[in-house]
Structure 1
Amino acid sequence: MIQRVLKQAKETLKDLNKNKWHYLYTGILIQLIFGVAGSFILRRIFGFVLLMTGQDNLNNTNIIQILLNPMGFISLIVYLILLVVLLFLEYQVFCLMILGASNQKKIAWKKLFHPTHLKLNKQNIFNGLYFLVYVILGIPIANLGLSTTLTNELYIPDFITGEWSKSPTSAVLLFVGGLTLIYLAFRFLFVVPLFTLTDLNFPQIYKRSWQMTKGKLIEFFLSFTLIEFVLLLILLPVFLLSIVLALILDNDGSNLFLESLLLTLINGCIFATNLFVKIGIFHLLIQNMQSFSNNLPLQNVQKKRKFASLTLLFMVFASFYLGETYQLATLEYNPKIEIVGHRGYVAKAVENSVEGLRAAKKMKANYVELDLLYTKDHQFVVMHDNDLKRLAGVDKKVSDLPANKVIGLKIKQDGHTSKIVSMKDYLKIAKQLQMHLILELKPTGNEDSSYVIRFVNELKKSGMENQVKIMSLDLPTILAIEKLDPDLDTGYVIPIQFGKLPNEPVDFYAIEDFSYRPQLAEEVHQMNKKLFVWTINSPDKIRYYLQTPIDGLITDELKTTNQTKNELRHDKSYIDRLLDLIQPLQ
């Protein structure tokens, strides 16, 4: 097996070196066609879907309404069909490019969009669903290089995996589910080359891929890893040399144009590495195929158009250089961002505990976010899960119990212990600590008509109404609070959202990291509202968001956030900004 791995990797790397300029040129074309033009078309169709359904966006609350609208449903089907076609075309271009280079041929672009080569005459909507299933299965191994231009940003939102990992049972299920997806993704590795280069239909393709990968998963994994490792070894000295040259030519990092050139070169090398990793993987797969369709859109290589190729490369380089210059010039640490301890400071205490509140105060958080549930006898307690099993070990629900059966219950988490407290007691301690709070109301559906009034009255009794913000996933609840007392600072929590944010009569939005886009902050500020993002825990993301125009960052990692803030206060040179703008390997 080792000999086969080395032989295949050697042949692949040899081909990458031989056809590197052809692959780079075509890869840039793919990026422009599918990353720019394809994304533009999809955004316009998505906008048409929203227009037809009278919505400003698609989120977790209105998806059913959009699907039940006949025009919305039809428009979404059109959107999905186009998405499938674009994804297929991108994969097809990669496979044809590699196969053509091996046979001294090139892609016949004019024939590429012919229905025969799109296989639209042989496929149906169910086969399109087969293809979407393949794309979804590929999410866990996308970092190996199998993602497309349109799916580079596709991943499972952190708030889903994060919450699941907090319970031992669900964490095991998440782990097993992830391994299963990875296993299936490897068993269906040949779906794309078989579909694009043979005349098989999808059921036959899945069956053939299953047969071709039988007993070879380790071999393929080692081959992929070896190719990626070699390409990274090539990238590393280029990266280090670029940094050294920058330090020599601009040791104080103050030359914007030189640092922009350096950043463009580094990100260009990273783009090329990502591209060659993807091509290398497809090359390995195609090597293992024995037969191909006789009706592929390939043609004999004609005279090379070096001038056109060089012109395209220069234009792309110049465009990226201008873009990198703008980013370097405008990237700045935002000292106005308010840091919010998510459920207190969970590194030092149980979530939503008084100890977590005190720990967050010591870490100098601007706010502490906490969750409020409603008991059977109409009292508010500080707790995230309605089910007491995870933290208290009690197989009962908060909403089914009176307050005296919930308050005082012992809770455990990551070696820490505490007790469930009432909203009243928590606010009293927060007031003593002079700690500002963000109260998240979590209605379970069992609340009575006095729910909102009781909450507002309880808040005002505490004297903390001017030191807290109030938010909820449940928009009607927040709107009712806003109507009852417009002076209260209210916010709407949005876990998943595509399109523009709704202009609701609230004071701020709390959006999950998965749905954040740079233009959202500008949209929110134009509404004269604020934008908080949750839950940001990785060092890279904390560093990224601290240099954005958001108003608040909700995190479990208060220590890391403080350290990053201190670093950014002193990192003012262009070389410091450059290091933050280097694109990750995918």
Structure 2
Amino acid sequence: MKLKARDILKESTRLIGNDLWRYVLVIALTETMALLLVRQVSSRIFQLALVSAKVQGINNQNYLQILTNPIALILILFTLFLLGTFVVLQITTVLAFADRPYHDNKLSLKSIFKPILKMKPTNYLVFVLYIFIIMPLGNVGLTSVVTESLRIPSFIIEFIESVPWMMITYYLGLIVLFYLNIRFFFAFIIFYNEPGSFMQALKHSWTITRKHAYLIFKITILIGAGTILATLLALLITLLPLIVSEHFFPNNLKLVNSLLSTAFLFLVMFIVSLSSIFMIQGTVVAYHQLKGDQVSPSRAFYKPKKHSLIINSLVIIAFVFFAAVAYFDTPNHALAGSVSVVSHRGESRNAVENTLESLELAAKHKPSYVEMDIQQLADGTIVVFHDYDLKRLAGINRKLNTYTIDELRGVSIHSHGNTSTIPTLDEYLALADSLNQNIMIEIKTTTKDSPEFLGDIMKIVESHNMRDRVIYQSLDKYAILNYKEKFPDATVGYILGINIGGLEDMNVDFFSLEDYSVTTRVVNDAQRMRKGLFVWTINSEELMQFYFKTQITGIITDNLELAEEVREDMKKTPISDLFWSLDFLESR
């Protein structure tokens, strides 16, 4: 049977229109249950796992401590099982609601739980791979609030993109996952409607999508495009009154802004819910049209019930509540100036990173600090360089710590059409001192470092009278704690490449985390411990706006110019506050 995307979306629109409000209610309930119940329960179990392993969170240095603790490992696996089970329950609940028009029987709890009850233990590995890898990374078709925030940390992606073969492999992998999502598009509706295991549902979906992959792709593109257009329209509707109010009613701007922020929030929530509804109903309609099924006669002429006064009242109450939250929680614009901006390896867009040229260009923007990396050479000289080898910037496959400074003088490094040489720490700080620029030193360690390495760093810093203008951080927990012990008045920080859970209290002055690892708990832990918190690497306007409105210590960025523009725009106009409620409510 030849199917058309237009006919599928047209039939989906008719079925959705028949019972839109109850549809939205089902989506809202399942999403709320995921956010408030499942995440809370799973986080408690995960916390028990951390307690069992005697750690505050999982990071790049203690993950083996978790994996070698049987109780902690069992609890983490149970957390994954619980989350995966709820994903099935959430998706099958809304699928069951969307599937009602094709059945005479009334929707029951038994039918909703049926897929869970027939899940075979032998299919769990495939199930986990599909739920936590293929679905969120492939990003096509059905999804869940539990998994939609899963993503690869940006610093890992940046590293991958810096190595050509890894970048090619990564993007080919994404294409494969995208294609798998297309081919497994009907897996859940098959698993709900037909007998058989989840593996059989995947195989059946693979079979029936062989000739309809483009159709599925077209449906998802049309729904996605509609969502974007609707969101832009909602933005336009709320921005115009705000611009008018800013010019004609400046004294009432905060109240108007709060009301419009809430209106925008409601519109976006409705649009996102409607997008999910269309994707779900489109999946169901396409599946039944492929099978040649028709809407049940008893439901063909279904007349929707008018939404009651209770629903209208609840919507109004919710609107007033969120408007009040937006009014009292709209941030003070002074906060935008209290968050430090740190230049990541200097101005690396117009010069080679970690060079004297990159430092000089960065200093023109007057950042709070210029971040740089140091390592020790074979002869004990300390140089400013990030990678442990010269392959990326010099095309030489040799470890940096095998060089002497005399050998390194003849090596040129290249990036983005720029050429330079590797400076010593002494040369770098001499220029920083002349520029009156504060520095954030990342100490990179190897097993070949001399015992004098840490002491030599401070000697060079003191030789330039910069002890009060330099702070230190490292991925090596023991090195940075040792540095703090040697120099108690030094400001030091511990870098966590990946962190899941809370922060461990230790003798450092700040923590440095990638955006992916920053959660409400992390921020609360840092504040409770009275530690600073730097977040890296923040290069997008949206993330800059978000963090400038928080009370973290600072952001580390590759784009100082954009950071300056964002900060100034936030001080000039309250339009950016339109998105504050959305950012505030977003789960991080």
TM-score, normalised to structure 1, is: 0.90
CA deviation vs aligned residue, 1:211-236 (integer Å, no higher than 9, x gap)? 22224332211111223333544554
Structure 2 counterpart of 1:533? 535
Measured in 2, the distance between the counterparts of 1:189 and 1:280 equals 14
Match of 1:469 among 468, 471, 477: 471
Following superposition, the deviation at residue 74 of structure 1 comes to 1.6
Q: 2:461 aligns with which of 456, 459, 467?
A: 459
Does 2:365 match 1:334? Answer: no
Which residue does 1:552 correspond to in 2? Answer: 554
Equivalent residue for 2:170, pick from 174, 179, 190 = 174
Q: Deviations over 1:519-578 (max 9, x none)?
A: 53343233232111110001111121111101111000000001111112222x4x5412
- What is the percentage of aligned positions where both structures have the same residue? 26
Q: Distance in 1 between matches of 2:74 and 2:3?
A: 52
Gaps of 5+ in 1: 293-298
Give, in angstroms, the shift of residue 246 of structure 1: 4.8
Distance 1:566 1:243, change over 3 A: closer
- How far apart in 1 are the matches of 2:65 and 2:524? 28
Seen in structure 2, the aligned counterparts of structure 1 residues 335 and 177 have a Cα distance that, compared at 3 Å, is: same
Q: How does 1:114-263 map to 2 (within 5 A)?
A: 114=113, 116-119=114-117, 121-124=118-121, 126-127=123-124, 129-142=126-139, 146-246=142-242, 251-252=248-249, 254-263=252-261
Residue 280 of structure 1 corresponds to 278
The answer for the alignment partner of 1:56 in structure 2 is: 56
Which stretch of the first structure deviates more once superposed, 549-558 or 230-239? 230-239
* Aligned-partner residue type, residue 68 of structure 1: T
Q: Decide which moves more: 354-363 or 189-198.
A: 189-198
Counterpart-to-counterpart distance in 2, 1:373 and 1:476 = 16
Deviation at 1:585, TM superposition (A): 12
Q: CA 1:223/1:436 → structure 2, altered by over 3 Å: closer, same or farther?
A: same
Partners of 1:305 and 1:263 in 2: CA distance: 25
Q: Does residue 268 of the first structure (1) align with residue 266 of the second (2)?
A: yes
| Structure 2: distance between partners of 1:490 and 1:246 | 44
Question: Structure 1 residue 303: deviation in Å?
Answer: 8.8
Kindly report which structure 2 residues correspond to 1:358-373, keeping only aligned pairs within 5 A, or say none: 358-373=360-375
Range 336-345 or range 11-20, more displaced? 11-20
Task: Give the Cα–Cα distance (whole angstroms) in 1 for the partners of residues 324 and 125 of structure 2.
Answer: 39
Q: 3-state SS of the aligned residue for 1:200?
A: coil
8 Å CA contact 1:375, 1:401 repeated in 2: yes
**Alpha-carbon distance, 1:310 to partner:** 4.6
Within 2, Cα distance between the matches of 1:178 and 1:122? 28
Q: Deviation of residue 13 (structure 1)?
A: 2.4
User: Is residue 572 of structure 2 the alignment partner of residue 570 of structure 1?
Assistant: yes
Residue 456 of structure 1: how far off its partner (Å): 3.1
Partners of 1:517 and 1:389 in 2: CA distance: 35
* Corresponding position of 2:32: 32
Go from structure 1 to structure 2 and tell me whether the alpha carbon gap of 1:325 and 1:165 turns closer, same or farther (over 3 Å shift). Answer: same
1:186 counterpart SS class: helix
Once the two structures are overlaid, the 10-residue window that deviates more, 357-366 or 191-200, is 191-200
Q: Deviations over 1:287-341 (max 9, x none)?
A: 233599xxxxxx9999998466456545544543343333326676331222111
- Matched to 1:433, the amino acid is L
- What is the rounded CA distance, in whole Å, between the counterparts of 1:504 and 1:72 in structure 2? 22
Q: CA separation of 1:398/1:249 partners in 2, compared to 1, >3 Å: closer, same or farther?
A: closer
**Partner of residue 374, structure 1:** 376
- What does the per-residue CA deviation read over 1:334-365, in whole Å, with 9 as the maximum and x for residues that have no partner? 31222111000112101111100000011222
- In 2, Cα distance between equivalents of 1:451 and 1:207: 59
Please report the RMSD computed on the Cα atoms of aligned residues, expressed in angstroms: 3.0
Q: Any idea what SS the aligned residue of 1:531 has?
A: strand
Residue 335 of structure 2 aligns to a residue whose secondary structure is: coil
Change (3 A) 1:499 1:238: closer
Indicate the SS of the match to 2:473: strand
SS at match of 1:288: helix
The 1:263–1:148 alpha-carbon spacing in structure 2 relative to 1, beyond 3 Å, is same
Q: 1:106 & 1:417 partners in 2: Cα distance? A: 71
What do residues 27-69 of structure 1 show as CA deviations (whole Å, max 9, x unaligned)?
A: 1111221121111111211122122222212222222111211
Letter in 2 for 1:432: S
- 1:104 deviation in Å? 6.8
Deviation (angstroms), 1:412 = 0.6
Partner of residue 508, structure 1: 510
Q: Distance in 2 between matches of 1:168 and 1:537?
A: 22
Distance 1:38 1:318 in 2: 27
Indicate how the Cα distance of structure 1 residues 490 and 262 shifts in structure 2: closer, same or farther if over 3 A, else same.
same
The DSSP-based 3-state class of the residue aligned with 2:133 is helix
Q: How many angstroms apart in 2 are the aligned matches of 1:236 and 1:484?
A: 56
Counterpart in the other structure of 1:390: 392
Q: What is the Cα deviation at residue 518 of structure 1?
A: 4.2
Q: Deviations over 1:385-428 (max 9, x none)?
A: 11211101111110222232224410110111111111121111
Contact 1:232–1:273 (Cα < 8 Å) also in 2: no
Unaligned stretches of 5+ in structure 2? 292-297
The whole-number CA distance in structure 1 between the counterparts of 2:88 and 2:112 is 11
**In the comparison of the two structures, how many residue pairs are matched?**
574
Partner Cα separation in structure 1 for residue 122 and residue 217 of structure 2: 32
What does 1:434-453 align with in structure 2 at a 5 Å threshold? 434-453=436-455
Per the TM alignment, residue 151 of structure 1 is displaced from its structure 2 partner at its CA by 2.2
Kindly provide the amino acid, as one letter, of the partner of residue 156 in structure 2. I
1:182 counterpart SS class:
helix
CA drift of 1:469 comes to 0.8
- Pair 1:229–1:585, CA change in 2 (3 A): farther
SS at match of 2:423: coil
Contact 2:126 2:199 in 1 (8 A): no
Deviation at 1:454, TM superposition (A): 3.2
What's the counterpart of residue 522 of structure 2?
520
After superposition, the Cα gap between the structure-2 partners of 1:380 and 1:232, relative to the gap in structure 1 and judged at 3 Å, is: closer
Residues 462-503 of structure 1: per-residue CA shift (max 9 Å, x gap)? 432221111001100101101111111111001221222111
Q: Distance in 1 between matches of 2:70 and 2:206?
A: 38
Is the Cα–Cα contact under 8 Å of residues 50 and 72 in structure 2 kept in the other structure? yes
Preserved CA contact (<8 Å) 2:138 2:179: no
Task: Name the residue aligned to 2:17.
Answer: 17
Cα offsets for 1:437-476 (capped at 9, x unmatched): 1111111333243332333333333432221111001100
Distance 1:87 1:312, change over 3 A: farther
1:469 partner SS: strand
**Secondary structure of 1:261's match?**
helix
CA distance in 2, matches of 1:398, 1:205: 52
Letter in 1 for 2:482: A
SS in 2 for 1:150: coil
Distance 1:325 1:145 in 2: 36
Does structure 1 retain, via aligned residues, the 8 Å contact 2:374–2:382? yes
Distance 2:14 2:329 in 1: 37
How many angstroms does 1:582 deviate by? Answer: 4.6
Which residue identity is paired with 2:578?
Answer: L
Q: How much has 1:247 moved relative to structure 2? A: 5.0
- Aligned partner of residue 289 in structure 1, secondary structure: helix
Output the CA distance in 1 between the equivalents of 2:526 and 2:149.
Answer: 23
Match of 2:418 in 1: 416
Identify which range, 96-105 or 349-358, moves more after superposition: 96-105
Question: Following the alignment from structure 2 to structure 1, what is the Cα–Cα distance between the partners of residues 552 and 127?
Answer: 39
Secondary structure at 2:347's aligned position in 1? coil
